[in-house]
Amino acid sequence: MPSHVRLSARPTAGLAAYLVLATTATLGTVVAGSGQAVAAGTATGGKQTAQHGTPATSGSKAATSTAAKTQSKAAAKPASKAAAKPAAKPAAKAATTTAAKTVSYPDTLDGWIAEARAVLAANGDHVPSAESIKARAMTESSGNPDAENHWDSNESLYGGTYGLLQTIKPTFAQWALPGHTDIMDPVDSIISGVRYANDRYGSFETIAYTKAGY
């Protein structure tokens, strides 16, 4: 009986030792496997984090680039408009000057009167009718722009009267406009004569049809 017990006890102790060893080995395998899984999960998570971080950086660069381009375009537009505006004014002035130069008048009594009336209007003077100017020109010089008078009292006082509307030199000089200072030019003679009569008589028409001097 005691020998039977001893025989049974040895295998039992060996079995227990075997079970302990087997359990320890299994637990080590499980722990090692878990460690590998955790390491793998950590590495995978890191990669995913890095992957998710990359588009965010690219998106930031794209947004910055887009904002810079928008600001650049917004700044460029007013500059281009500001640069365009100054160039437009000389063109408009040139067009006006060209249009003025294209106006021509015939070298006749009617043409001289028409041109003089245009100059007077541009200067803001009272502009008498063409008929009234023509009537006075015919009375003074018979429509001759080269006429000179050296036989009346104006000769001794002022050296005579000259031109289409027969003005004396001091009167002509006082009422001539800049650019129209030739007493023998029919247009200039009309301009000065009309401005003088407007001032002295209230209007040129007052003396336009009289036969006496003015």
| Cα–Cα distance list, 210 to 139, 200, 207 (Å) | 8, 15, 5
Same domain, 131 and 96: no
Same domain, 10 and 96: yes
Domain that holds residue 124: 109-208
**How many domains are contained in the chain?**
2
SS3 149: strand
Q: What is the DSSP string of 102-139?
A: H----SSHHHHHHHHHHHHHHHT-----HHHHHHHHHH
Same domain, 36 and 79: yes
The reported pLDDT for the residue numbered 205 is 97
Question: Does residue 56 fall inside a structural domain?
Answer: yes
pLDDT per residue, tens digit, the chain (214 aa), is 444 434 344 444 444 444 434 444 444 443 334 444 333 343 344 444 334 443 344 444 444 444 444 454 444 444 444 444 444 444 433 443 343 356 899 999 999 999 999 999 999 999 999 999 999 999 999 999 999 999 888 888 889 999 999 999 999 999 999 999 999 999 999 999 999 999 999 999 999 999 988 9
Question: Does residue 132 fall inside a structural domain?
Answer: yes
pTM: 0.54
Question: Does residue 213 fall inside a structural domain?
Answer: no
Question: Does residue 214 fall inside a structural domain?
Answer: no
Same domain, 83 and 122: no
The reported pLDDT for the residue numbered 102 is 64
The reported pLDDT for the residue numbered 155 is 87
Same domain, 113 and 75: no
Sign, CA dihedral 201-204-206-211, equals positive
Same domain, 113 and 177: yes
The reported pLDDT for the residue numbered 153 is 85
In sequence order, what are the beta bridge partners of 180? 177
Phi-psi region of 72 (alpha: psi -120 to 50; beta: other; left: phi over 0): alpha
The reported pLDDT for the residue numbered 128 is 98
Residue from 212, 193, 211 nearest 203 by CA = 193
Domain termination site, one of 102, 129, 158: 102
Same domain, 76 and 143: no
Model confidence pLDDT, tens digit, residues 111-148: 999 999 999 999 999 999 999 999 999 999 999 999 99
